[in-house]
């Protein structure tokens, strides 16, 4: 089940919210848990037990840590139980076939692949539950004593499948609050954010993404240099509006339920460096790696060489987290290289020259998206050569004329203009109601006439 779906919006969500608002506060977390389990099992019922097991393991691991506070050996035992189980599930389902196929390639063996489908959302909910157990171990949060409350935290359907990655400390007060969680202002704000997120996904991401699909269909090696750039601009817009649209819908749904999820995107394409870009893009994932990998490794406290090494570890893991293919590891190492260069000497120059800085950032990010998307390394190489060789191929003219409006809208909505509009008019019903109505009706009309359109980050 996905948010940008007629069934979800007009049946599932309507029924869940109606029940949720009617029942007494002490039952609300139970309603969230039940609704979330139905939401998840709708399309992934066979992997339902894995998420339940992750919830149970982390609940009791944290209880064990809390009971043995002060006994470091027992605390580590509880933490290890959580880490081994969650990382074991993630590695087994996401990376086993990758390891087997590479062993077969390099060792000449013929070990059969397992071909297990990737459980929906496993990369997100395992990180979320591990962060909770680590925080309990560190003493940053108390262990949750109510398994229903904890289950609501882990399974909460707005952010279950593709984030934002919500830490327990972000919502634990609301989870245990029986009064004042739900307000009319919160519901109102949540509806607005959900509709704008829906518009991002349906009206912008899906339309500009059609150009990239056309290019992929014809073959990446067939395009001319202008068309290669037009295509990668389209994909850059598609992945941004697809993922930020999902995140905005999730944040809006969270507000309807009475929770404040963290921001996940902050206009990343206005960045003046790659360093700034990663402070604005998928902020909860970057924050997770900073808090639970980079800082424990020493962060920037042990000199420049150690800091660069820590960055290498983080970015290798970030690439590998996104997928079990060599292009994702290459993507992670590509960003490590750029960030390391900026850290050593380039960042100061970029800060003094904002126009070249923006051009450099957009160009490097575009190349990064090519590496991110194209899993065949040979095809990736040919496409990047096309981007920079000024070679011939299929002309960009037809596609430019057909997609000009969609790309222009995407570019304009990537700037602060939309944020300024929203902040200025969000409390002005004369302006906001017609805008929201138009976005919602256009989105619904598009969905009625379209086929299944999953979010890009569902594959991770």
Report the pLDDT value the prediction gives residue 20, as an integer from 0 to 100.
Answer: 96
Residues 6 or more apart whose CB falls under 8 angstroms from that of 191 comprise 252, 256, 436
Report the pLDDT value the prediction gives residue 300, as an integer from 0 to 100.
Answer: 87
Average pLDDT, the chain: 93
Kindly give the parts of the chain with pLDDT less than 50.
Answer: none
Report the pLDDT value the prediction gives residue 451, as an integer from 0 to 100.
Answer: 65
In the annotation, is 322 catalytic? yes
> Which residue in 178, 282, 322, 353 is the catalytic one?
322
The pLDDT tens digits of the residues spanning 18-32 come to 999 999 999 999 999
Distances, alpha carbon 18 to alpha carbons 8, 143, 226, 261, in Å:
14, 31, 51, 21
- Paired strand residues for 223: 394
- Paired strand residues for 394: 223
The answer to whether the beta carbons of residues 387 and 225 sit under 8 Å apart is: yes
Report the pLDDT value the prediction gives residue 225, as an integer from 0 to 100.
Answer: 93
- Paired strand residues for 326: none
Report the pLDDT value the prediction gives residue 186, as an integer from 0 to 100.
Answer: 94
Query: Which letter, b or e, does each residue of 73-101 get, where b requires 16 or more Cβ atoms within 10 Å of its Cβ?
Result: eebeebbebbbebbeebbeebbeebbeee
Give the Cα separation of 92 and 396 in Å (integer): 43
Residue 180: CB atoms within 10 Å: 10
**Domain locations in the chain?**
6-180, 186-459
Q: Residue 317 burial (CB < 10 Å; 0-12/13-18/19+)?
A: middle
Report the pLDDT value the prediction gives residue 402, as an integer from 0 to 100.
Answer: 93
Residue 184: CB atoms within 10 Å: 7
Report the pLDDT value the prediction gives residue 221, as an integer from 0 to 100.
Answer: 84
Residues 6 or more apart whose CB falls under 8 angstroms from that of 407 comprise 208, 211, 230, 233, 234, 237
Give the Cα separation of 161 and 125 in Å (integer): 8
């Amino acid at each position: 089940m996905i948010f940008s779906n007629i069934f979800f919006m007009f049946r599932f969500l309507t029924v869940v919210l109606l029940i949720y608002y009617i029942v007494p506060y002490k039952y609300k977390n139970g309603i969230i848990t039940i609704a979330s389990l139905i939401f998840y099992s709708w399309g992934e019922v066979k992997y339902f037990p894995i998420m339940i097991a992750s919830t149970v393991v982390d609940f009791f691991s944290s209880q064990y840590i809390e009971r043995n506070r002060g006994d470091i050996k027992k605390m580590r035992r509880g933490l290890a139980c959580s880490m081994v189980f969650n990382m074991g599930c993630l590695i087994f389902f996401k990376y086993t076939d990758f390891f087997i196929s590479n062993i077969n390639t390099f060792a000449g063996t013929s070990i059969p692949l397992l071909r297990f489908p990737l459980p929906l959302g496993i990369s997100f909910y395992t990180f979320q539950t591990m962060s909770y157990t680590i925080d309990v171990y560190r003493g940053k949060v108390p262990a949750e004593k109510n398994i229903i409350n904890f289950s609501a935290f882990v399974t909460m359907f707005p952010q279950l499948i593709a984030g934002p990655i919500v830490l327990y400390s972000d919502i634990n007060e609301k989870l245990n609050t029986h009064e004042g969680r739900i307000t009319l202002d919160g519901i109102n704000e949540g509806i607005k954010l959900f509709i704008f997120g829906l518009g991002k996904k349906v009206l912008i991401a899906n339309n500009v993404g059609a150009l990239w699909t056309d290019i992929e269909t014809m073959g990446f090696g067939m395009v001319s240099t202008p068309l290669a750039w037009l295509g990668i601009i389209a994909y850059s817009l598609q992945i941004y509006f697809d993922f930020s649209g999902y995140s905005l819908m999730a944040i809006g749904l969270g507000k309807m339920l009475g929770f404040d999820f963290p921001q996940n995107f902050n206009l990343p394409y206005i960045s003046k460096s790659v360093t700034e870009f990663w402070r604005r893009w998928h902020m909860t994932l970057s924050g997770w790696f900073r808090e639970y990998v980079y800082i424990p490794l020493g962060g920037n406290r042990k000199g420049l060489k150690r800091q660069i090494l820590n960055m290498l570890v983080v970015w290798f893991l970030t690439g590998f987290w996104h997928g079990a293919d060599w292009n994702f590891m290459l993507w992670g190492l590509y960003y490590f290289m750029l960030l390391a260069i900026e850290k050593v000497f380039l960042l100061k120059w970029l800060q003094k020259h904002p126009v070249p800085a923006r051009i450099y950032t957009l160009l490097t990010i575009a190349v990064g998206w090519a590496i991110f998307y194209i899993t065949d390394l040979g095809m990736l190489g040919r496409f990047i050569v096309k981007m920079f060789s000024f070679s011939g191929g299929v002309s960009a003219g037809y596609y430019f004329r057909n997609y000009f409006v969609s790309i222009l809208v995407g570019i304009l909505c990537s700037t602060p203009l939309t944020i300024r509009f929203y902040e200025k008019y969000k409390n002005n019903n004369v302006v906001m109601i017609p805008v929201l109505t138009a976005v919602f009706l256009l989105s619904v009309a598009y969905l009625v006439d379209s086929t299944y359109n999953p979010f890009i980050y569902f594959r991770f």
